[in-house]
Amino acid sequence: MSHLDIILQADELAIGYGKKSQAATIAKDMSIKLEKGKLTCLLGPNGVGKSTLIKTIMGQIPPMKGKIELNGKTLSEIGPKELSKRIAVVLTDKVRLGNLTVLELVALGRTPHTNWLGNLSEQDHLKIDRAIQLTHISYIQDNVLSELSDGQLQKVMIARALAQDGDLLILDEPTAHLDLINRFEVMQLLRSIAHEEKKSILVVTHDLEIAIDTADEFWLMQCGLPLVKGTPEDLIINGQINLLLPSEQLSFDKITGKVLILNDVSYPILEGDSYLIFWMKLFLRKNHSVKVNEISKISIKESPFSIKIETQQNQFRFETFNDFKSYLEG
Ligand SMILES: Nc1ncnc2c1ncn2[C@@H]1O[C@H](COP(=O)(O)OP(=O)(O)OP(=O)(O)O)[C@@H](O)[C@H]1O
């Protein structure tokens, strides 16, 4: 990594609100670095300080300690106009500009670059077209915003941020209001923009599974602990991902990539393909009405699907079911 690839960095950063005796430090001793061409996801529980960190990175609130450098220049020395050329932000609040068309909203992304009359140059039009093309929204470019679905609107907001053409894009929970398919699409889109357009993208998200699939780097924030950074894969394998799950009842399963609720089920002998055993274990953990301690063996197979339950209380007995529902009700 050359120093030119570092868009933003800070060492021993402390963030928070207020001054002197009124000061409330939210997090401290943070070293952060955002690089060109990388998608970074910031994760942590509600109230830990994720928004405070991004507001500090955006220059909206000053650091309580340490300084942030953007393209090698201290953030506090960069004026607001210059800052808005370099950092584009997509916040969670829904825009209430219902009568604007998609194209008009994306064009607003060029505001920091236009003259006081707001006239768009040829260069501005090229950037707007490119942003629309990258986010695949040309088919709705003449629609008014009030007609869009939440998924479409989120892509339009990303297009506006792209039209701004800063090196750094910051998004606060971009998948918050979206269904599963749109959540995947938006995060995949952000990944491809980071990689292909060489942008640095920082996303605040609670969407752990999709973040694992898309992020190059994770920043994990946990109350009172230093910021933990690394690739999702490293953090999963070394177990640090569990910092996101401080409750002793939750654990991140390294094999399936899912958060599991731990309870004291001791399983009987389970026979079958490993994926069928995975779903059988989930079923047994969830359904306390199934008396696991009375079962000696469960055999499960797919084709034709069957669940064979063997018990060995006073005498050997077995029952076969052809789906989980009939087992539960049987
Ligand atoms: N303007 C403010 N002045 C003082 N304290 C604030 C202010 N905004 C937020 N806080 C406090 O800072 C702490 C961190 O809040 P923040 O919004 O950064 O958390 P978060 O991790 O983004 O939470 P969430 O996931 O719920 O969005 C909270 O205790 C909050 O009450």
Domain ranges of the chain: 6-258, 269-329
Ligand 1 centroid from CA 236, angstroms: 27
CA 62 – CA 176 distance, rounded (Å): 27
Write out pLDDT tens, residues 264-304.
778 999 999 999 999 999 899 888 888 888 899 999 999 99
Does residue 330 surpass a pLDDT of 90?
Answer: no
Percent of the chain's residues with pLDDT above 70 = 96
Q: Whose CA is nearest to atom 2 of ligand 1?
A: 17
Q: Choose which residue among 30, 41, 48 to substitute to test ligand 1 binding: the one with the highest number of ligand atoms within 8 A of its C-beta.
A: 48
> Is 6-258 assigned to CATH 3.90.110.10?
no
What is the pLDDT averaged over residues 212-219? Answer: 97
Ligand 1 centroid from CA 67, angstroms: 21
Three-class SS state of 147: helix
Ligand 1 centroid from CA 6, angstroms: 27
**200: Cα within 13 Å, side-chain hemisphere:** 20
Write out pLDDT tens, residues 303-322.
999 999 999 777 788 999 99
| Residue 46 in contact with ligand 1 by CB distance below 6 A | yes
pLDDT, position 259: 87
Q: Is the pTM of this model over 0.90?
A: no
Least confident of 86-95, 120-129, 181-190, 199-208: 86-95
CA 86 – CA 72 distance, rounded (Å): 12
Does residue 5 surpass a pLDDT of 80?
Answer: yes
| Residue 267 in contact with ligand 1 by CB distance below 6 A | no
What confidence category does residue 96 fall into, taking pLDDT thresholds of 50, 70 and 90?
A: low
Does residue 94 surpass a pLDDT of 70?
Answer: no
Report the C-alpha dihedral over residues 206, 211, 216, 222, rounded to 10 degrees. Answer: 30
CA 198 – CA 9 distance, rounded (Å): 17
Extended strands (E) in the chain: 6-17, 24-35, 38-43, 68-70, 73-74, 87-90, 168-172, 200-204, 217-220, 228-230, 250-253, 258-261, 269-271, 295-301, 306-312, 316-321
Percent of the chain's residues with pLDDT above 90 = 68
What confidence category does residue 113 fall into, taking pLDDT thresholds of 50, 70 and 90?
A: confident
Write out pLDDT tens, residues 135-157.
999 999 999 999 899 889 999 99
Retrieve residue 287's tokens: 């359904």
What is the pLDDT averaged over residues 119-133? Answer: 90
Write out pLDDT tens, residues 67-88.
999 999 999 899 888 898 899 9
Write out pLDDT tens, residues 22-31.
778 999 999 9
Write out pLDDT tens, residues 266-277.
899 999 999 999
What DSSP designation does 74 have?
E
Cis peptide leading into 45, omega within 30 of 0? no
pLDDT, position 47: 93
Asked if the interface predicted TM-score (ipTM) of this complex is over 0.90, the answer is: yes
pLDDT, position 87: 95
What confidence category does residue 235 fall into, taking pLDDT thresholds of 50, 70 and 90?
A: very high
What DSSP designation does 244 have?
G
Ligand 1 centroid from CA 50, angstroms: 8
